[in-house]
Amino acid sequence: MPRIVAIQFSTAGKLYDFDAGNLDLAPGDKVVVETERGLGIGAVLRGPVERSEGVPENLVTIRRKATPDDMATQERNRQLEKSAFDFCLKRIMERAMPMKLVRVEYQFDSSKAVFYFTADGRVDFRDLVKDLAHTFHTRIEMRQIGVRDESKMIGGIGICGRELCCCSFLREFQPVSVKMAKEQNLALNPSKISGQCGRLLCCLDYEYETYCCLRKNFPKCGKRVRTPTAVGVIDKINILTGNITLRLDDNKQITIRRDEILSDNAADALPTLPAAAPASQPEARREQRERKHHQRQPSSPAPAPQQKDETREESKRAAVTPPPPAVEAGGDEAQDGQKKQEGRRRNRHRKHGHRRKQGDKPDTSTTPTPNTPGA
């Protein structure tokens, strides 16, 4: 079962797991380990812990505890880093390169020097690398970083008067948004909510969840509420003190407590009209059946213009033409001939498009006068 220790290579840096082997280590001890970049000296943060599950793959074993010679080598590298920083900064100013040098880091065995810088875009530093390699006779690596990493390397004092969180205890950067500042009722002034790096303060994330939980017990701003003494709209909310600023209809503002709110619904504050008396059960059923009947009955289509004209002519003709007289029981042939003749007369006007004028009378000269019974 491996004995795992957590090691950091810089203050508030990332933690890396190593196998302690048979070494007796305690928090704060300096050790020499093999990393992807080469040999390095780190500090033990947490003592050895035997772990059977969750063991990282390719776990590297610590080489040895740091000796006085190792510490002297590290101090000598610090001097090389300072001289390399001054030389590189001088070359950058001479060439007027659009970049800002932040830090120089030498490997423990002086096999490579890493130059950290910030820039707004891509920078052509090929000539600069040639000058550095010719002067220091080692491998040179130029690494571009962000402004938050720059503040973490340089350090400083924040607007709260304490050391920056990123260089004291914050090991990883968390995403911060303006929504966090709005939720905490902070003024959206860039100079108030921004840190040394120019980005939003990392501490906005610390109390964000607490504010979200407390806000659930308060109504939202802009909502109309009712209290025992007044009715108004919520203007401001102080979650920490529990005070609510209420704006009345006459633009007067008063301060109330959360428990003084009787209703969070605007409809409760308005006068309610008396409800109509419910209809009796048989009448309600009859009205429901009538509504269903009207919905089921299809609406008759509107007649076409031509059909309207024909309907009007037929109604006029029926008003002017007298009804046919009754015939005797033995005159079936005469009655059939009369019906055929009247049908031909009507069809003649419809077929040829002739319309009888309003004052014309039907032609009854050819219509035989039947013998009325009893004549």
Summarize pLDDT for 205-259 with one digit per residue, the tens: 999 999 999 888 888 888 898 888 888 999 888 888 888 998 998 888 898 888 8
CA atoms 56, 59, 64, 68: torsion sign: negative
Do 84 and 136 lie in one domain? The reply is yes
Residues 27 and 78 in one domain: no
Mean pLDDT of 70-88: 94
Average pLDDT for 264-274:
46
Gap between the Cα atoms of 174 and 223, Å rounded: 33
Q: What is the 3-state secondary structure (H, E, C) of 164-210?
A: CHHHHCCCCCCCCCHHHHHHCCCCCCHHHHECCCCCECHHHHCCHHH
What residues have CB less than 8 Å from 75, skipping those under 6 apart?
none
- Report the number of distinct structural domains present in the chain: 4
In a domain, 329, yes or no: no
Q: Is 324 within the bounds of a domain?
A: no
pLDDT for position 149: 93
Residue 323 lies in a domain: no
Domain limits for position 247: 217-269
Kindly state the average pLDDT of the residues 112-132.
93
One domain for residues 140 and 82: yes
Task: Mark whether 103 and 39 lie in a shared domain.
Answer: no
Q: Model confidence over 304-346: pLDDT tens digits? A: 444 445 555 555 555 444 555 444 444 455 566 666 666 666 6
Cα 156 from Cα 167, distance rounded (Å): 8
Q: Residue 347 — very low, low, confident or very high, per pLDDT cuts 50/70/90?
A: low
Burial class (CB in 10 A: 0-12, 13-18, 19+), 79: exposed
Among 188-192, 270-274, 368-372, top mean pLDDT goes to 188-192
pLDDT surpassing 80 at residue 195: yes
pLDDT above 70: residue 155: yes
Point out the domain boundary residue: 103, 124, 145.
145
Burial of 109 (C-beta count, 10 Å sphere; 0-12/13-18/19+)? exposed
